[in-house]
Amino acid sequence: MSALVPELLVRAHAKRLRLPVMAAQAARYAEEAASAGHGPLDFLAALLSAEVAQRDANVERTRIAAARFPEGKELSDFDFAAIPSLNAALVVELARGAYLARREVILAVGPPGTGKTHVATALGLAACRLGRRVRFVTVAGLVTELAEAQAEHRLSRLEAALDRTDLLICDELGFVRLDPDAAQLLFTLLAHRYTRGALIITSNLEFAEWTTVFGGDERLTAALLDRLTHRCHLLEFRGSSYRFRESLAAREIRPEADSASTRTRRGKESPE
Ligand code: ADP
Ligand code: MG
């Protein structure tokens, strides 16, 4: 039998068994094993490991896509020194994901631009990599989704879908003031959620101001806060906008390299 026949057979069988790495790489792995003097079991172990690694990577990619993060943001790109109010050790510990099984709440609170969405996303990505199902929503987007589902009589289906996630990230509580119906929908969802799975909420508001989001309903807000803060990790983002500070710092180092004017000058230049 020529070498080509088993190669073709392996490829055909591997395709049918949906083992794409084996289909594409078996011959190369076999040659490498032969030239390195490795036995058949070593060869098989290496090939199957590569197949499993690719399958894990595909599952992870699908999970991250399903979470619908606005942008990929990693903890490794986060400058903790820029925000001393934030408990860095707690963030690193949370990234390990023990809070997920305990269905705990993380409240990230602070003014705009201080890194709340960045850290929430990074924690979400970490959860995806731990094999957890995650969904990222903005509060405005979530409320719209809930209202649409209610109008179409499929609210319980949407709630069930959200229940199946291990982590729900609600970004930007406080950016929009909700009308009473929307406030009630969000309240019901969050009050239910905290019993079902982990939850991250980011907000630019102090707790005392949460009533403004919930249409001034103090009783509703107090009831919600009471539930959410029951098993909660508080991440405090105190300070000014990171990007704003970065651009100030950049200007201090190179005052002549103001990016806007540089761009305008370049824009006016004719091509050489
Ligand atoms: P917030 O959600 O609090 O309004 P973001 O997380 O959207 O703030 O941060 C605004 C931008 O600044 C993002 O691009 C984010 O990656 C970046 N950023 C904020 N804080 C930091 C930090 N400490 N280290 C690195 N990047 C940061
Ligand atoms: Mg944000």
Structure confidence by residue, pLDDT tens digits, 100-121 = 999 999 999 999 999 999 999 9
Q: Kindly report the CATH number assigned to the domain that includes residue 138.
A: 3.40.50.300
Is residue 82 within 6 Å of ligand 1 at its C-beta?
A: yes
pTM (2 d.p.): 0.84
Q: Which residues pair with 218 in a beta bridge?
A: none
β strands within 139-236, DSSP E: 167-173, 198-203, 232-236
Report CA(78)–ligand 1 centroid distance (Å). 8
Q: Is residue 82 located within the same domain as residue 212?
A: yes
Does residue 232 sit within a domain? Answer: yes
Q: Is residue 12 located within the same domain as residue 138?
A: no
Ligand nearest to the CA of 119: 1
Contact 35/60 with Cβ under 8 angstroms? no
Quick one: pLDDT at residue 243?
A: 77
Report CA(97)–ligand 1 centroid distance (Å). 22
Does residue 214 sit within a domain? Answer: yes
Q: Is residue 126 located within the same domain as residue 57?
A: no
Instruction: Phi first, then psi: give them for residue 213, nearest 5 degrees.
Output: -70, -40
Kindly state the helix (H) or strand (E) to which residue 228 belongs, with its residue range.
Answer: helix 218-228
Q: Is residue 203 located within the same domain as residue 239?
A: yes
Is residue 197 within 6 Å of ligand 1 at its C-beta?
A: no
Instruction: Phi first, then psi: give them for residue 233, nearest 5 degrees.
Output: -105, 125
Q: Is residue 23 located within the same domain as residue 84?
A: no
Contact 172/138 with Cβ under 8 angstroms? yes
Range of the domain at 42: 4-63
Report CA(139)–ligand 2 centroid distance (Å). 11
Count of domains forming the chain: 2
Q: Is residue 98 located within the same domain as residue 168?
A: yes
What would the two tokens of residue 93 be? 């510990």
Quick one: pLDDT at residue 141?
A: 96
Q: What is the mean pLDDT of residues 177-187?
A: 91
Distance CA 118, CA 267 (A): 32
- Lowest-pLDDT range of 123-127, 161-165, 171-175, 248-252: 248-252
Quick one: pLDDT at residue 1?
A: 56
122-134 pLDDT per residue, tens: 999 999 999 999 9
248-267 pLDDT per residue, tens: 777 766 544 444 443 433 33
Q: Is residue 59 located within the same domain as residue 79?
A: no
Does residue 215 sit within a domain? Answer: yes
Q: Helix, strand, or coil here: 133? A: coil
Distances (CA, A) of 235 to 84, 90, 123, 137, 206: 11, 8, 12, 19, 12
Does residue 266 sit within a domain? Answer: no
Q: Is residue 41 located within the same domain as residue 153?
A: no
Q: Is residue 110 located within the same domain as residue 189?
A: yes
Q: Is residue 104 located within the same domain as residue 177?
A: yes
Residue 88: pLDDT over 90 = yes
What would the two tokens of residue 105 be? 């709440």
